[in-house]
């Protein structure tokens, strides 16, 4: 992963290579991958070659690759690599004004420098039909150099001037004249190119060179000359201009031919990079590191569903299955609940079964069986599933059907303990026994989460102390879960706990601290199966 410290100016790094003592070497890269390989080998800079960039794009080295295309590649290299690029800018992509645009864009992309050559657009590679190649007029090219230097927005950006005088067959004097003129125009370095198979021509140039600027060479044809010879001659920078691509071409041709000939990759495996090497070069592990830092997941919310009881007065509906399995709209009630929970990101759902456990067997949940459900009641069931009462937990009765937004509201609460209360008091006229609650403050406005706290809970609350009905859903998180567990233990340890229910635990919490249980109000949009019994019997839902 690129570190902030690596963002030190690329132009400065390139300048140090050029202006530092001795001779430095840079190596061609034509994409971010080859740049990474070069960098890993310990080379201190990259040559972004027009020959290799164009051929990688399936084009000729005749100014066929556009400025936009090449800038994209350079951008991906500077994003990945931590060593500077000297970009082969051909003839500058047009006249002086185009070159100025190029320089600005290179500075923006943190390219260390550009080298342009004194030929005319469209140029041809120096090793191809070089005799017929045309040089740009010296003054025009000097003007282009000056324009580039005036346009740079990065003070250390390098503009190198390359003379092709020797390539087109002119003599050393002509090359020197041009190079001197370019340095006067502001060039930070001179590149003297030669197609000779030995160093003598460039050596002659160096002998006559004033030394007013660092000299760069591209020893593609005189590759056998030792680096010490270049150093003695006063060369500052050696560009190995195409070797990464040439190495790749040979290797790829071998592989392709091998597969065609043998119809198998069996014998290739040992000689090609393993796939895991690709992952390493891509920094696949860096992603894992990043995930640890940036993708810290909130611990997923889990759920406990209490579905042990048979329910009273529903004998014929629950003859073969527990209440939670009664079909509502063609689907068992519990399935609707599981669907809503999963849709809201609640994973790890535990269900406590009791009555007819074999008939309640949804997939992908943890099952607890309370064989004593008829005698130890709701708190017996909950205690059985206490191992699941940790972290962030939704606790719900298995026979409650609700619209999904109610669960969403519950999950969005930031309180340690939150319950959902229906503020309509229709159960009073209807004479239904429900989990009544008394909530602090005046009657709520709908869906308000703010500052509504449970003061008391129990089916025996008097009418004047009843604000609404707990719908059988609550959620605890963090310290709230610990508080809830402690309250559960205390209530269970008290007298008559087998007759008590979750409502008693809530009451206990509210008595201990009147601001421990947050209330979120709803009105309708939920129902419990007991109150639906008549409808279910009639088959209308």
Q: What is the binding site for Mg ion (CB under 5 A)?
A: 50, 88
What residue number has its CB nearest to ligand SPV? 49
Q: Which of 47, 100, 34, 102 is nearest to 71 (CA)?
A: 102
Nearer to Mg ion, 141 or 484 (CB): 141
C-alpha 355/C-alpha 358 separation (Å) is: 9
Exposed (0-12), middle (13-18) or buried (19+): which is 195, by Cβ within 10 Å?
Answer: middle
455, interface contact from Mg ion, ligand SPV, none, CB < 5-8 Å by kind: none
What gap in Å lies between CA 154 and CA 143, rounded to an integer? 20
Binding partner selected for residue 220 from Mg ion, ligand SPV, none, CB under the kind-specific 5 to 8 Å limit: ligand SPV
Residue number with CB closer to ligand SPV (188 or 435)? 188
CB 88, min distance to ligand SPV, A: 5
Could you tell me the smallest distance in angstroms from the CB atom of residue 53 to Mg ion? 9
**Angle CA 451–337–394, to nearest 5:** 40
The option from ligand SPV, Mg ion, none interacting with 126 (CB < 5 to 8 A, set by class) reads ligand SPV
As measured in angstroms, the least distance from the Cβ of 23 to ligand SPV is 18
Task: Say if residue 359 is exposed, middle or buried (CB neighbours under 10 Å; 0-12, 13-18, 19+).
Answer: middle
Nearer to ligand SPV, 102 or 529 (CB): 102
Q: Which does 39 bind (CB under 5 to 8 A by kind): Mg ion, ligand SPV, none?
A: none
- Give the active site residue among 61, 88, 154, 501: 61
To the query of whether residue 61 is one of the catalytic residues in this protein, the response is: yes
Contacts 24+ apart (CB under 8 A), 496-500: 497/379, 498/375, 498/376, 498/377, 498/379, 498/380, 499/377, 500/377, 500/378, 500/379
How far apart are alpha carbons 39 and 194 in whole angstroms? Answer: 27
Residue 343: count of CB within 10 angstroms of its CB: 11
Tell me the two tokens of residue 398. Answer: 């298995």
Rounded to the nearest angstrom, the gap between the alpha carbon of residue 10 and the centroid of all alpha carbons in its chain is 26
3-state secondary structure of 427: helix
Question: Angle formed by the axes of helices 96-108 and 67-80, to 10°?
Answer: 20
Q: Which of 468, 283, 504, 290 is nearest to 383 (CA)?
A: 504
Q: Is the distance from CB of 106 to CB of 114 less than 8 angstroms?
A: yes
Nearer to ligand SPV by Cβ, of 218 and 510: the residue is 218
Q: How far is the CB of 298 from Mg ion (least distance, A)?
A: 53
Residue (of 440, 460, 462, 535) closest to 504 by Cα position: 460
Alpha carbon of residue 188 to chain centroid: 40
The one of Mg ion, ligand SPV, none whose footprint includes residue 242, by CB under 5 to 8 A per kind, is ligand SPV
Sequence-ordered alpha helix ranges (H) in 413-528: 426-430, 479-493, 502-512
- Least spacing, CB of residue 263 vs ligand SPV, in Å: 37
Whole-number minimum distance, CB 162 to ligand SPV, in Å?
8
Rounded to an integer, what distance in angstroms lies between the CA atom of residue 150 and that of residue 145? 9
Minimum CB distance to ligand SPV, residue 130 (Å): 9
Instruction: Give the residue with the Cβ less far from Mg ion, 89 or 398.
Output: 89
Q: Please work out, in degrees rounded to the nearest 5, the angle formed at the alpha carbon of residue 244 by the alpha carbons of 10 and 22.
A: 50
Which does residue 218 touch among Mg ion, ligand SPV, none (CB within 5 to 8 A, set by kind)? Answer: ligand SPV
Q: Rank residues 51 and 341 by Cβ distance to ligand SPV and give the closer one.
A: 51
Extract the tokens encoding 429: 């006229």
In whole angstroms, the minimum distance from the beta carbon of 106 to ligand SPV comes to 16
Contacts of 136 (CB under 8 A, 6+ apart): 91, 118, 119, 120, 144
**Between residues 126 and 418, which has the closer beta carbon with respect to ligand SPV?**
126
Closer by beta carbon to ligand SPV, 125 or else 203: 125
Helix axes 502-512, 373-384, angle to 10 degrees: 50
Binding site for ligand SPV (CB under 6 A): 49-51, 61, 88, 125-127, 218, 220, 241-242
Give me the active site residues, please: 61
């Amino acid at each position: 992963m690129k570190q902030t410290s690596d963002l030190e100016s690329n132009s400065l790094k390139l300048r140090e290579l050029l202006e530092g003592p001795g001779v430095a070497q840079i190596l061609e890269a034509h994409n971010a991958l080859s740049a990474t390989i070069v960098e890993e080998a310990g080379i201190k800079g990259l040559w972004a070659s027009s020959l290799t960039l164009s051929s990688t794009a399936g084009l000729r080295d005749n100014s066929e690759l556009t400025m936009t295309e090449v800038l994209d590649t350079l951008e991906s290299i500077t994003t990945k690599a931590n060593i500077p690029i000297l970009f082969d800018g051909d003839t500058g992509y047009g006249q002086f004004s185009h070159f100025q645009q190029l320089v600005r864009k290179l500075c923006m992309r943190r390219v260390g420098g550009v080298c342009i050559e004194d030929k005319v657009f469209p140029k041809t590679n120096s090793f191809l039909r070089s005799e017929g190649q045309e040089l740009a007029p010296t003054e025009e090219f000097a003007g282009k150099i000056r324009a580039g230097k005036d346009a740079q927005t990065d003070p250390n950006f390098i503009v190198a001037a390359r003379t092709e005088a020797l390539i087109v067959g002119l003599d050393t004097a002509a090359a020197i004249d041009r190079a001197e003129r370019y340095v006067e125009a502001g060039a930070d370095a001179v590149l003297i190119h030669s197609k000779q198979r030995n160093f003598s021509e460039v050596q002659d140039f160096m002998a006559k060179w004033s030394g007013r600027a660092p000299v760069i060479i591209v020893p593609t044809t005189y590759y056998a000359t030792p680096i010490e010879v270049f150093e003695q001659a006063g060369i500052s920078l050696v560009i190995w201009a195409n070797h990464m691509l040439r190495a790749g071409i040979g290797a790829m041709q071998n592989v392709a031919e091998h597969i065609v000939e043998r119809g198998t990759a069996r014998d290739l495996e040992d000689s090609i990079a393993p796939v895991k090497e690709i992952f390493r070069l891509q920094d696949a592990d860096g992603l894992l590191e990043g995930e640890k830092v940036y993708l810290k997941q909130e611990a997923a919310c889990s759920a406990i569903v209490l579905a042990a009881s048979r329910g009273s007065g529903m004998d014929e509906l629950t003859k073969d299955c527990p209440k939670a399995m009664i079909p509502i709209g063609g689907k068992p009630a519990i399935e609707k609940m599981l669907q809503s929970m999963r849709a809201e990101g609640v994973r790890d759902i535990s269900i406590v079964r009791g009555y007819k456990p074999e008939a309640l067997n949804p997939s992908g949940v943890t099952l607890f069986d309370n064989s004593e459900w008829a005698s130890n009641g709701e708190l017996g069931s909950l205690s059985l599933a206490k191992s699941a009462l940790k972290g962030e937990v939704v606790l719900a009765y298995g026979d409650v059907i609700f619209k999904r937004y109610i669960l969403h509201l519950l999950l969005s609460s930031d309180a340690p303990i939150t319950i959902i209360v229906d503020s309509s008091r229709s159960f009073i006229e209807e004479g239904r026994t429900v989990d009544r609650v008394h909530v602090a403050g005046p009657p709520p406005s709908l869906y308000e989460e703010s500052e509504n706290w449970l003061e008391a809970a129990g089916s025996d609350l008097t009418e004047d102390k009843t604000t609404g009905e707990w719908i059988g859903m609550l959620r605890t998180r963090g310290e709230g879960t610990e508080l809830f567990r402690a309250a559960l233990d205390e209530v269970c340890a008290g007298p008559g706990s087998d007759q008590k229910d979750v409502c008693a635990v809530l009451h206990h919490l509210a008595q201990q601290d009147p601001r421990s249980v947050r209330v979120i109000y709803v009105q309708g949009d939920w129902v419990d199966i007991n109150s639906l019994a008549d409808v279910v019997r009639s088959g209308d839902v």
